[in-house]
Structure 1
Amino acid sequence: MRSLVSINGSSEQSSTENLPLFIKKNSTGKGLQYNQVSSFPPSLILSNNLLVGPVLSSFGHLVKLHVLDLSWNNFTGPIPDELSNMSSLEVLNLAHNDLNGTIPSSLTKLNFLSKFDVSYNNLAGDIPTGGQFSTFTNEDFAGNSALCLLRNSSCSKETSFVENAYRKKSKGTLVALGLGTAVGVVFVLFCAYVIMSRIVHSRMQEHNPKAVANAEDCSESSKSCLVLLFQNNKELSIEDILKSTNNFDQAYIVGCGGFGLVYKSTLPDGRRVAIKRLSGDYSQIEREFQAEVETLSRAQHENLVLLQGYCKVGNDRLLIYSFMENGSLDYWLHERADSGALLDWRKRLRIAQGAAKGLAYLHMSCDPHILHRDIKSSNILLDENFEAHLADFGLARLICAYETHVTTDVVGTLGYIPPEYGQSPVATYKGDIYSFGIVLLELLTGRRPVDMCRPKGSRDVVSWVLQMKDEDRETEVFHPSIYDKENESQLMRVLEIACLCVTSAPKSRPTSQHLVAWLDDIAED
């Protein structure tokens, strides 16, 4: 547990004594196989234990913790303000307890919080606004009868408004008449909209018989839903998808994304594809689904994963991609027992070139330009020839050609997020460059961006590499399987590029076009 507290508060111990508590990211029966302890997020899961008493404020010292689950217990008292000090927290689950008081507004400071659940307690007052709280749904706060679910006004304001309405009957009558008139107008407009929508829909179907199956038109049990394919292929139904994955059996799982599992599949025409089945909070998966479809339908490049089709079935969202035979770069570098020994330097350099070309296309050639916002080794997929393909555009944002940034919540993956994102909610091209620099360091060193299993001083790959450079020990950072005198010149040049990418000053980082030119020049040597 000491390794979950700030570095200043921990004592010098061996790396094995510093292991935090880890769990698997997925909750399926078999689970996914991980070969390294560092693959698991540092988590503290105390759910379903009949625990009693207050939630301890000392949890706030666990600044390295990613997941805190105290649900389904008998905790009482307020939610401590100190939880806002858990700066790395991604999941906070306090559901099904007897907590009271208000939700601390200081929790809006948790920039990485992607899941927050306080349902079925005795909480009261307003729900905080700002930060990640704008992404949470009412279901995350359900079962708290005194909690105000109106995000735009306080409960007290709502109550006083109702009381004043009863006191001033004449004004209430006028309001009622006004509302009645407004409702009548809205009803007429709605009828006109429905009629026009049906006309437009029928005309669209004449030109596009493979319309996407909407939730209103098709239930999950239906076998006739069509899958929309971007290429002119023969008709494919949801029944074909279910057969090809044996009803999404766990044996077909090949990966785990931020919002769902990925299954391998062989379509009736013999094509092998990967199917991402989005799951979780409906509003979040709908945003993920729309982002992937919108981005990948606009972006077509040999170094991007090809989106072949998609489908809506009830609350399910399916995305169909070309199958990448060799999985992710993360798997080859960190999950295999050989620790990436089969990836020689030539393959690694070609992977870096391909990923840079895909990123340069998104930044400069695609119209509109695209910020990926989640560049990392697990989002670089490798085909049968180890050619790199950028994947997972669920966090991507389209921006106009004349813009250089987009204002947004802090997103991405810890270890790959540039330092400036913690100070300003502005995503930029240079943020993607920083993340790409981390991937280059992974290719060179074989290390993860952050590895809590390593001794203090070498857990953060950026700090470690920069320190080794200051001590003129650059050659010691390279993975043993790729370092030799023949490759040394190329390795040193790529290391210099990586260090430029991860510099703390965004303006000093190169563009993606520079990366392509430099890496191609190195490969030609």
Structure 2
Amino acid sequence: MGGSRWLLHFLFVSVLLHVVHSGRSLESQSCDPADLKALLAFSDALDSKPAGWGPGDASCCSWTGISCDLGRVVALDLSNKSLHGGISSAVASLDGLATLNLSRNALRGAAPEELAGLPKLRVLDLSANALSGPFPAAAAVAGGFPAIEQVNISFNSFDGPHPAFPAAANLTALDISGNIFSGGINSSALCLAPLEVLRFSGNAFSGEIPSGLSQCTALTELSLDGNCFTGNIPGDLYTLPNLRRLSLQENQLTGNLGNDLGNLSQIVQLDLSYNKFTGSIPDVFGKMRWLESVNLATNKLDGELPASLSSCPLLRVISLRNNSLSGEIAIDFNLLPKLNTFDIGTNNLSGVIPPGIAVLQHLPNLTSLVLTRNFRGGETMPVDGISGFKSMQVLVLANCLLTGVIPPWLQSLGSLNVLDISWNKLNGNIPPWLGKLDNLFYIDLSNNSFSGELPMSFTQMRSLISTNGSSERSPTEDLPLFIKRNSTGKGLQYNQVSSFPPSLILSNNLLVGPILSSFGYLVKLHVLDLSWNNFSGSIPDELSNMSSLEVLNLAHNNLNGTIPSSLTKLNFLSNFDVSYNNLTGDIPTGGQFSTFSPEDFDGNPTLCLRNSSCVAKDSSVGAAHSKKRKAALVALGLGTAVGVLLFLFCAFVIVSRIVHSRMQERNPKAVANAEDSESNSCLVLLFQNNKEFSIEDILKSTNNFDQAYIVGCGGFGLVYKSTLPDGRRVAIKRLSGDYSQIEREFQAEVETLSRAQHENLVLLQGYCKVGNDRLLIYSYMENGSLDYWLHERADSGMLLDWQKRLRIAQGSARGLAYLHMSCDPHILHRDIKSSNILLDENFEAHLADFGLARLICGYETHVTTDVVGTLGYIPPEYGQSPVATYKGDIYSFGIVLLELLTGRRPVDMCRPKGTRDVVSWVLQMKEEGRETEVFHPSIHHKDNESQLMRILDIACLCVTAAPKSRPTSQQLVAWLDNIAEG
């Protein structure tokens, strides 16, 4: 009986489930005909229909991204589906639609005005597309978006005034960040709705923040950062009773922070950094019991630290760096158990550090402590009584005039990554245990009075021998951006953990003994600075094993012997200085040594260029120069280093980049006689055929350099087109400046560049001097620059198809490989960019201006920044050392590849915040699995998608932050040819 009852129950449930399933199946097989028509029209406006959509399939309720209720479409969610094209106004015919999510695609054009008429639409998400123009004005009229609750149109290119939704009685969230909206904020229109989240970040809003925002009483988040707001914070903003997150950073706000700030009793995150606030910080934090993060960095605040910060038990981050705060720290850290970052660097705080450290040590979560450039009373570094800091990863006590020795309690900080105690008055020997901290990869002990020999443990540091250096590290959670500021307040430098180089900086001490050969084991070390000490002996050949080394500074010691030729194997070495030692023999040639300045070898009287007379200053001159440099360093030292907030890097800038003169026999017919330049009768001699032309021929062919003949304008001068008397068409670059002091060197360099002969180079054919002007004569390229075709021509997508772009990439790579490896001598381009890739009548690529940055900037006759190259193409490591490298050229070439693939400029400030830098945008899209969306629509087709993806991978290898991970130019040629043939 029981079994029969169970069987009947089972049959009943089975039948019921079948009926339910049949009903659902029936529903999924049909949809409203009007909705079907609207969806097909929506699909037709796209470049290709969404996956899973079929024009012959009437069961639209089963299509990808479609949800129905009784046959009516209620949700259209095609987020992150690689959609291209426009948004059809037909979507507004889906009058049952409650959710429209088209985010994270590549949709372009305007948002249809008709969207405002959707009567049931509650959620609208069009974020992360390429939509442009004003947002539908219908949103602001009576009846527009009547049911809307959430609007996210962030990270597009919408412009004009911000949208408002006066008819939206239920609007709770509005995110328009990362667009180009401008003007002021219409608070009266916004606050008609019960808004809880208002994000206006990263636009172009200006004027003052209006006072009416206090009417948005339900606000929990207000983000106005990254705009151009001026004036004071309106007082009524502090009356918002539910506000938990207030982000006003990166504006131009001024005035005092009044006591009304304390009325934000529910605030969790407060960020007012990077403004121009003045006055003292109000001592009102006792009312903010929920506060977790306060950031007031980089303002003009003065006065004392508010003691009431002790009353915020949930505080994790206190960042008050780069202000003018003074007095003693009155915060009771025992009441802040969750604190993980305390950054007060670069202020004028006083008092005694040791007691403060004794208190801070007991904070269990403290990972970053930055006290740089404070407490300059000459206190002794605490030696005893410290046993905490178990979580410490970044400890910066630089430029605090501390005395004493390196304290033994540091050896218990097993998690320490970064230690900076530079620019103090510490002395004694460096303890061996310091090199045994497993996670330590950055040490700056410079500008102290440490003595004795280096401990052997410094050559056995686990994080620098293994693969645990910062270049492979994952960013540490909650460790903030750091600033390294010198003591004069100049020389600000920003870095993140992901780009921080493993470093040993021990300069300006009293260290003695040999340079240990076992340094060669530190294969992960990027920076080794032992300058301004008393090291003796020879430079170990084993240093050539430090395969990641980028900076090696051994200047101002007592080293002797020769410079090991094996150092030419250090392919990433961009900064090398052995000046003012007692080195002898020949300076090695090849590799990176061709890029180093003569000043890097000064003060070694018997150190010579190979097969040449000795070029270093003699000992008396060297000694005098040494004193001058010592005095200069001390003067500069009052303003160099220190104040780090997170992974700190000291980029010692080499004094100049004067290039080596070529000590070769010069062909007297190759260059016009310098003495002839006093008149206009000087000869213009072409290198490749010895036909002679006069300057009158040049003037006549350009109508005395008339503006009508200008075909280009760059950082080094104007470019004119010209037809020579023999009918040859050439481009004449006219350089202006005073070259009289270096005329012979300049001519020698010009002749060197003229010997670079390759089908993918714009050949330098001749040279002439006319007064203070220098004329460089190049082959003429009919189709101008790649930059013009990519970014100026409206029809570039049609005329510059994918096969042309691929051929341009191949040709450019071949030209670069020739300069790097086949040309004698090898040449660094130093300014690879799309405007320096010229196209002939067949659209074949030719690299232009190769070596010109060295030719001009090396002699300091061209006004430019310290960093060679052009904004957007400059590799990140050039911010740490201005010396050009082969890998720097590869980075710039990678940017050009991204331009070819995306059609975007390297930096475009007209794009939404977060997408303006093409490298960051592409890498982010790859991380999100959206790489197919970065390709320009004119070249993105199924038949070439495989090639596009492979070249995108190559481009990303070229622009990787670590130079050693970038390919060589020969590899680029092989890879691109393989792709073209495949």
Could you state the TM-score of these two structures normalised by the residue count of structure 2? 0.32
Q: Which residue pairs with 2:208 in the alignment?
A: none
Q: Residues of 1 paired with 2:681 and 2:740: CA distance?
A: 25
> Residue 345 of structure 1: which of 802, 822, 828 is its match?
802
> Residue 217 of structure 1: which of 676, 685, 688 is its match?
676
Going by fraction, where is helix more abundant, 1 or 2? Answer: 1
Q: Residues of 1 paired with 2:920 and 2:742: CA distance?
A: 35
Q: Which residue pairs with 2:938 in the alignment?
A: 481
Q: Which residue pairs with 1:444 in the alignment?
A: 901
Answer whether contact 1:370 1:396 (CA < 8 A) is retained. Answer: no
Deviation at 1:427, TM superposition (A): 2.4
1:14 counterpart letter in structure 2: N
Q: Which residue pairs with 2:839 in the alignment?
A: 382
**Which stretch of the first structure deviates more once superposed, 508-517 or 424-433?**
424-433
Q: Residues of 2 paired with 1:110 and 1:237: CA distance?
A: 51
| SS of residue matched to 1:264 | strand
Answer whether contact 2:671 2:766 (CA < 8 A) is retained. Answer: no
Q: Which residue pairs with 2:926 in the alignment?
A: 469
Alpha-carbon spacing, 1:443–1:210, altered in 2? closer, same or farther (3 Å): closer
Answer whether contact 1:291 1:395 (CA < 8 A) is retained. Answer: no
Answer whether contact 2:868 2:882 (CA < 8 A) is retained. Answer: no
| SS of residue matched to 2:938 | coil
| SS of residue matched to 2:906 | coil
Alpha-carbon spacing, 1:351–1:283, altered in 2? closer, same or farther (3 Å): farther
Superposed CA RMSD: 3.8
Q: Answer yes or no: is 1:14 the counterpart of 2:179.
A: yes
Deviation at 1:357, TM superposition (A): 0.4
Q: Answer yes or no: is 1:520 the counterpart of 2:977.
A: yes
Deviation at 1:267, TM superposition (A): 0.8
Q: Residues of 2 paired with 1:250 and 1:110: CA distance?
A: 42
Q: Which residue pairs with 1:433 in the alignment?
A: 890
1:299 counterpart letter in structure 2: A
Deviation at 1:257, TM superposition (A): 1.9
| SS of residue matched to 2:798 | coil
**Which stretch of the first structure deviates more once superposed, 348-357 or 273-282?**
273-282
Deviation at 1:364, TM superposition (A): 1.0
Deviation at 1:338, TM superposition (A): 2.6
Deviation at 1:284, TM superposition (A): 11
Q: Which residue pairs with 2:713 in the alignment?
A: 256
Answer whether contact 2:947 2:979 (CA < 8 A) is retained. Answer: yes
> Residue 395 of structure 1: which of 844, 850, 853 is its match?
853
Q: Which residue pairs with 2:880 in the alignment?
A: 423
| SS of residue matched to 2:891 | helix
1:509 counterpart letter in structure 2: R
Alpha-carbon spacing, 1:375–1:480, altered in 2? closer, same or farther (3 Å): same
Q: Residues of 2 paired with 1:324 and 1:252: CA distance?
A: 14
2:672 counterpart letter in structure 1: V
Answer whether contact 2:754 2:765 (CA < 8 A) is retained. Answer: no
Q: Which residue pairs with 2:186 in the alignment?
A: none
Q: Residues of 2 paired with 1:260 and 1:506: CA distance?
A: 31
Going by fraction, where is strand more abundant, 1 or 2? Answer: 2
Q: Residues of 2 paired with 1:108 and 1:312: CA distance?
A: 39
Q: Answer yes or no: is 1:360 the counterpart of 2:834.
A: no
Q: Answer yes or no: is 1:236 the counterpart of 2:693.
A: yes
1:512 counterpart letter in structure 2: S
1:330 counterpart letter in structure 2: D
Q: Which residue pairs with 1:75 in the alignment?
A: none
1:274 counterpart letter in structure 2: A
Answer whether contact 1:210 1:227 (CA < 8 A) is retained. Answer: no
Alpha-carbon spacing, 1:210–1:424, altered in 2? closer, same or farther (3 Å): closer
1:217 counterpart letter in structure 2: D
Deviation at 1:374, TM superposition (A): 0.8
Deviation at 1:373, TM superposition (A): 1.2
1:501 counterpart letter in structure 2: C
Answer whether contact 2:887 2:968 (CA < 8 A) is retained. Answer: yes
Alpha-carbon spacing, 1:14–1:430, altered in 2? closer, same or farther (3 Å): same
Answer whether contact 1:277 1:317 (CA < 8 A) is retained. Answer: yes
Answer whether contact 1:259 1:285 (CA < 8 A) is retained. Answer: no
Answer whether contact 1:451 1:460 (CA < 8 A) is retained. Answer: yes
| SS of residue matched to 1:347 | helix
Deviation at 1:340, TM superposition (A): 4.2
* Cα offsets for 1:265-311 (capped at 9, x unmatched): 11111111000001246579979965861442231111111111110
> Residue 780 of structure 2: which of 323, 327, 343 is its match?
323
Q: Residues of 1 paired with 2:835 and 2:740: CA distance?
A: 24
Q: Residues of 2 paired with 1:426 and 1:238: CA distance?
A: 36
Deviation at 1:240, TM superposition (A): 0.2
Q: Where in structure 1 are there 5+ consecutive unaligned residues?
A: 1-10, 21-55, 63-80, 83-103, 112-133, 135-149, 158-202, 398-407
Q: Answer yes or no: is 1:511 the counterpart of 2:949.
A: no
| SS of residue matched to 2:776 | strand
Alpha-carbon spacing, 1:282–1:344, altered in 2? closer, same or farther (3 Å): same
| SS of residue matched to 1:217 | helix
2:676 counterpart letter in structure 1: D
Q: Answer yes or no: is 1:268 the counterpart of 2:433.
A: no
Q: Answer yes or no: is 1:490 the counterpart of 2:655.
A: no
Q: Residues of 1 paired with 2:733 and 2:815: CA distance?
A: 21
Alpha-carbon spacing, 1:388–1:19, altered in 2? closer, same or farther (3 Å): farther
2:810 counterpart letter in structure 1: Q
1:196-211 equivalent positions in 2, closer than 5 A: 208=668
Q: How many residues align?
A: 342
Q: Residues of 2 paired with 1:337 and 1:466: CA distance?
A: 27
Q: Residues of 2 paired with 1:259 and 1:105: CA distance?
A: 33
Deviation at 1:213, TM superposition (A): 3.5
Alpha-carbon spacing, 1:293–1:266, altered in 2? closer, same or farther (3 Å): same
Answer whether contact 1:14 1:455 (CA < 8 A) is retained. Answer: yes
1:101-116 equivalent positions in 2, closer than 5 A: none
Q: Answer yes or no: is 1:336 the counterpart of 2:336.
A: no
Alpha-carbon spacing, 1:461–1:281, altered in 2? closer, same or farther (3 Å): farther
Answer whether contact 2:179 2:913 (CA < 8 A) is retained. Answer: no
Alpha-carbon spacing, 1:341–1:251, altered in 2? closer, same or farther (3 Å): same
Q: Which residue pairs with 1:99 in the alignment?
A: none
Q: Residues of 2 paired with 1:419 and 1:505: CA distance?
A: 9
Q: Which residue pairs with 1:308 in the alignment?
A: 765
Q: Residues of 2 paired with 1:287 and 1:442: CA distance?
A: 39
Q: Residues of 2 paired with 1:495 and 1:395: CA distance?
A: 28
2:830 counterpart letter in structure 1: R
Q: Which residue pairs with 2:62 in the alignment?
A: none
Q: Residues of 1 paired with 2:798 and 2:746: CA distance?
A: 36
Alpha-carbon spacing, 1:210–1:353, altered in 2? closer, same or farther (3 Å): closer
> Residue 411 of structure 1: which of 838, 848, 868 is its match?
868
Alpha-carbon spacing, 1:414–1:247, altered in 2? closer, same or farther (3 Å): same
Alpha-carbon spacing, 1:371–1:234, altered in 2? closer, same or farther (3 Å): closer
Answer whether contact 1:213 1:227 (CA < 8 A) is retained. Answer: no
Q: Which residue pairs with 1:30 in the alignment?
A: none
Answer whether contact 1:437 1:498 (CA < 8 A) is retained. Answer: yes
Alpha-carbon spacing, 1:469–1:283, altered in 2? closer, same or farther (3 Å): farther
Alpha-carbon spacing, 1:501–1:211, altered in 2? closer, same or farther (3 Å): closer
Q: Residues of 2 paired with 1:333 and 1:109: CA distance?
A: 35
Alpha-carbon spacing, 1:518–1:211, altered in 2? closer, same or farther (3 Å): closer
Q: Residues of 2 paired with 1:247 and 1:353: CA distance?
A: 38
Q: Residues of 2 paired with 1:447 and 1:515: CA distance?
A: 22
| SS of residue matched to 1:370 | coil
Q: Residues of 1 paired with 2:744 and 2:943: CA distance?
A: 48
Deviation at 1:236, TM superposition (A): 0.4
2:898 counterpart letter in structure 1: L
1:238 counterpart letter in structure 2: I
Q: Which residue pairs with 1:293 in the alignment?
A: 750
| SS of residue matched to 2:693 | coil
Q: Which residue pairs with 1:455 in the alignment?
A: 912
* Cα offsets for 1:302-352 (capped at 9, x unmatched): 111111111011111000001000111111001122354311000000000
Answer whether contact 1:334 1:340 (CA < 8 A) is retained. Answer: no
Q: Which residue pairs with 2:612 in the alignment?
A: none
* Cα offsets for 1:121-149 (capped at 9, x unmatched): xxxxxxxxxxxxx9xxxxxxxxxxxxxxx
